[in-house]
Chains A and B, each alone.
Chain A
Amino acid sequence: MKERKTGLQMTRRDWLRFMGVSGFAAGLAACAPPGVAPADDAADAEVLVDRWTTGLVDPDISGTFRIISWEGEGEIDKFIPFIEGFFEERYPNMEVEIESGVPWGDYWTKLPTQIAGGDPPDLAWQHQSRGWVYPDKGWSHSMQQYVESHPPDGWPDDWEPKMIEMSTYKGELHSLPYGWVTWGLFVNRDITDSIQEYPFPDDWTWQDLREIAKEATSGEGMDKIYGCRIPIFDKTLWAVSMTWGADLFDTERTRGNFDDPIVEEAAKYLWDLRWTDGSSPTPGDEQAMGLGGEFLFASGRIGMHMGISDIAARLDNAIGDKFPWGIAPIPTGPNGRFGYEGGAQWMIPAGSKFPELAYELTRYVLSNEDILPTLGIEGSLYPPRLSLAEYGLPKGWEEKIPNAKHALLTLGLEQPTYYQYFTKYQEWSALWSKWMDPIFVEGKDNIKEALVGLNNETNELLGAA
């Protein structure tokens, strides 16, 4: 006969129940959103009012200021001390939450969902490929009024004008650039010195590149050395076409121009590098080698690698002492040189809880000549102010690669025409893949037919058909 326990005595089942309920309660508490920490100490601190405060924000403002970026820790770390310092000194009751390292593709799912769902971050990393998309959909906050009433330092004369142009949609500034890049050819001198004297002449052409690449290509299979590696996408086709005198679209981006014979010639040129000469690895080759992009160049199997300027410092680390290397400018042609790329910005998402504060922070970090050299010093993007642009080149490179500044920065800026993204660019990318992947990825040779097909569907999409 089981004896029932009374009073404060607890049966095993009661104990288990108690533990279960306690555990459940503890679990629920652990799931709760993190609250804003009380800022008692901070409230007593002396608040700094200086030329970086606009007066638009109450110094006692409190809450959580959220920032989101695709940049990984290695890149975002250099921004963090300045961001945190800004709030600690000027808005001590604010908490800052920085979410970094969101994978690139997922970033563009997360950010619009947060905006559409009514809970966006207060400041977001923006890319030029979406520079028109967000304002067009009403997803970004205009900065025009702020810039007019409280312009950033050096505004506008010292700011890279094309980046400002890219940040502007229908006359309104929607973002401020934090950095920009140019294209160059990273050269493995062990492979090219016997063919082309280094440094390469400024007036070398795409035809020269093809000849050098053919001569530099040697070996077979896994031991093959490729003369060049030219990534092929719409922007590469644009750069070659423009050099020879034709754009891929009309200037307003309302009509395609892919049926232009010059565009066809440029496409054939890029196709030949891969499929006729075999001097640039195909995607299949890279898959078989298990290496791609900069890694392939760093492995010593590529003569000339086309890449953007911000990879220079990282390439330097990856190459080490394996081989001597240098930088050549993007080849030129009858219509000029098109080595300017563009860059990325900071924007205030629509629905931000602290838009004025976001602008103040943006203005403080991105126009401050005490901060910008640090943002560029890692050999990253060129800072947005032209007078400080060379801080974007890796430190101490004057001796190591003397022509780096000339090849990347001076000649990159020689003709700063950029590939203008448009509001339907993301949808259009699917058309590019549909028509051009069979050509450039699979190696089919019906180039003209594919370009005409792409042009027709482009016009249909842009409403020009």
Chain B
Amino acid sequence: MNTISTEAVQGRPAAGLGAGTSPMGTERSRLLGNLGAWGLLSLGGIIMLVPFLWMVLMSFKSLDEVYTFPPQILPNQFLFSNYAEVWDQVPVARFFSNSATVAISATLGVLLTSSLGGYSFARIDYPGRNTIFLLYLSTMMIPFAVIMIPLFVQMRMLGWINSLYALIVPGLFSAWGTFLMRQFMMGIPKELEEAAEIDGCGHFRIYSTIIMPLCKPVLATLAIFTFMGFWNDFLWPLIVISSRDLKTLPLGLAGFQQKVALNTPWHLVMALAVVSVLPILLIFIIGQKYYVRGIVTSGLKGAA
């Protein structure tokens, strides 16, 4: 673009640009640039996809094929029975239901608390608002390992060790979620709120009927991130859960992998891994539009 402007203004080709400065040349270089970019992105995509494909293909192999050297990509025969076998050996439905209970409850909770917090920090003026927000935000800087033991003590005092409450409740308040919601809400025109106030709306009415419907993209983003975080969480559930009946999928997967020390049934472990990834994949595919839009929008508005 700069090249064309320079040419138009000065009436001569920019030095050193040669054939690239003609419309045909510009088109060609743009095409080449696009091809290069697409090539690189495709390569990156393939690199990202290979482990996932490997996991899926391995879940259909026999144990002998898993250990075949050199490794073969496709199974000789697709063994769907691996999925039935893993279902027989591990209480998959129980793990799945626990993971779903935790991830769904916590996601709903985070959406509620973060949006309320975000609304408060973005739309209501009160003394010390920004200081409180900064303090809240600073909790993001504390590594989980530091708060692990105090949190464990808290859960013990509440009698929640070895219960799903311990997995849901501590995660209901998210500084990152509040930050995301605040940034988005700050970009919503003040006039909408003022009009609602003139019509007699209070804060909760404005929050629920004006602001929240406009926040759908960022809510979708927050929901996907939160759900993924809770679904994949490993360390905290490992620490507080000891009953097999309360284990979530990542714990079940790790336990299953440990089942036989030398002869790990990797084909079955991979089948269980595929099962555990499916909900995340599904949610991402459904919410992809909101996810991308939410990231872009909140980023831009946040910077404004």
Counting contact residues on chain B (CB < 8 A from A), the size range is: 35 or more
- In the complex, chain A residues 103-137 whose Cβ is within 8 Å of any chain B Cβ: 103, 106, 109-110, 113-114, 116-119, 121
Shortest B90–chain A CB gap in Å is 10
Of B126-134, B148-156, B212-220, the segment with at least 4 beta carbons within 8 Å of chain A is B148-156
Q: A33, B239: Cβ atoms under 8 Å? A: no
Shortest B95–chain A CB gap in Å is 13
Which residues from chain B contact A110 at a C-beta distance below 8 Å? 238-239
Of B32-40, B63-71, B196-204, B284-292, the segment with at least 4 beta carbons within 8 Å of chain A is B63-71
Q: Is B232 an interface residue when CB atoms closer than 8 A count as contact?
A: no
Which residues from chain B contact A32 at a C-beta distance below 8 Å? 163-165
Of A195-203, A209-217, A287-295, the segment with at least 4 beta carbons within 8 Å of chain B is A287-295
Q: A222, B70: Cβ atoms under 8 Å? A: yes
Q: B262, A72: Cβ atoms under 8 Å? A: no
A14 to B284, CA, bound (A): 33
Q: Is B168 an interface residue when CB atoms closer than 8 A count as contact?
A: yes
Among A74, A116, A314, which residue has its beta carbon within 8 angstroms of that of B259? A74
Q: B239, A113: Cβ atoms under 8 Å? A: yes
Shortest B257–chain A CB gap in Å is 8
Q: Is B135 an interface residue when CB atoms closer than 8 A count as contact?
A: no
A314 to B260, CA, bound (A): 10
A68 to B255, CA, bound (A): 13
The interface size of chain A toward B, counting residues with CB under 8 Å, comes to 42
Q: A314, B262: Cβ atoms under 8 Å? A: yes
- In the complex, chain B residues 106-164 whose Cβ is within 8 Å of any chain A Cβ: 148-149, 152-153, 155-156, 159-164
- In the complex, chain B residues 39-87 whose Cβ is within 8 Å of any chain A Cβ: 67, 69-71
Q: Is A66 an interface residue when CB atoms closer than 8 A count as contact?
A: yes
B87-100 toward A: CB 8 Å interface, digit per residue (1/0)? 00000000000000
Shortest A196–chain B CB gap in Å is 26
Q: Is A317 an interface residue when CB atoms closer than 8 A count as contact?
A: yes
Which residues from chain A contact B67 at a C-beta distance below 8 Å? 291, 295, 299
A295 to B162, CA, bound (A): 37
Shortest B64–chain A CB gap in Å is 10
Q: Is A8 an interface residue when CB atoms closer than 8 A count as contact?
A: no
Q: Is B245 an interface residue when CB atoms closer than 8 A count as contact?
A: yes
Q: Is B105 an interface residue when CB atoms closer than 8 A count as contact?
A: yes
Q: Is B243 an interface residue when CB atoms closer than 8 A count as contact?
A: yes
Which residues from chain A contact B148 at a C-beta distance below 8 Å? 113
Q: Is A97 an interface residue when CB atoms closer than 8 A count as contact?
A: yes
Q: Is A27 an interface residue when CB atoms closer than 8 A count as contact?
A: yes
Given contact pairs A103-B254, A295-B67, A73 touches B259 in the complex (Cβ within 8 A): yes
A291 to B68, CA, bound (A): 10
A449 to B199, CA, bound (A): 80
Q: A118, B239: Cβ atoms under 8 Å? A: no
Q: Is A37 an interface residue when CB atoms closer than 8 A count as contact?
A: no
Which residues from chain A contact B69 at a C-beta distance below 8 Å? 289-291, 299
Q: Is A99 an interface residue when CB atoms closer than 8 A count as contact?
A: yes
A271 to B234, CA, bound (A): 38
Given contact pairs A75-B261, A117-B149, A318-B262, A102 touches B164 in the complex (Cβ within 8 A): no
Given contact pairs A31-B164, A74-B260, A110-B238, A119 touches B243 in the complex (Cβ within 8 A): no
Shortest A465–chain B CB gap in Å is 29
Q: A31, B261: Cβ atoms under 8 Å? A: no
Q: B160, A97: Cβ atoms under 8 Å? A: no
A72 to B149, CA, bound (A): 26
Q: A66, B242: Cβ atoms under 8 Å? A: yes
B284-304 toward A: CB 8 Å interface, digit per residue (1/0)? 000000000000000000000
Which residues from chain A contact B163 at a C-beta distance below 8 Å? 31-34
Which residues from chain A contact B149 at a C-beta distance below 8 Å? 113, 116-117
Q: B254, A101: Cβ atoms under 8 Å? A: yes
Shortest A95–chain B CB gap in Å is 11
A101 to B53, CA, bound (A): 27
A60-76 toward B: CB 8 Å interface, digit per residue (1/0)? 00000010101111110
Which residues from chain B contact A106 at a C-beta distance below 8 Å? 234-235, 238, 254
Given contact pairs A113-B152, A118-B153, A72 touches B259 in the complex (Cβ within 8 A): yes
Q: Smallest CB-CB separation from A112: which chain B residue? A: B149
| 8 smallest beta-carbon distances between A and B, as pairs | A117-B152, A31-B164, A33-B163, A101-B255, A72-B258, A101-B258, A314-B262, A74-B260
Given A31-B164, A72-B258, A299-B69: 8 more A-B contacts, CB < 8 Å: A66-B242, A70-B258, A106-B234, A118-B153, A119-B161, A121-B242, A290-B69, A295-B262
Question: Which residues of A come within 8 Å of B, CB atoms?
Answer: 27, 30-34, 66, 68, 70-75, 97, 99-103, 106, 109-110, 113-114, 116-119, 121, 222, 289-291, 294-295, 299, 311, 314-315, 317-318
Question: Which residues of B come within 8 Å of A, CB atoms?
Answer: 67, 69-71, 101, 105, 148-149, 152-153, 155-156, 159-165, 168, 234-235, 238-239, 242-246, 254-263
Q: Could you list 28 examples of A-B contacts with CB < 8 Å?
A: A27-B101, A30-B101, A31-B164, A32-B163, A32-B164, A70-B258, A72-B258, A73-B259, A74-B259, A74-B261, A97-B243, A101-B255, A101-B258, A102-B254, A103-B257, A106-B235, A109-B239, A113-B148, A116-B149, A116-B152, A119-B161, A222-B70, A291-B69, A294-B262, A295-B67, A295-B262, A317-B263, A318-B262
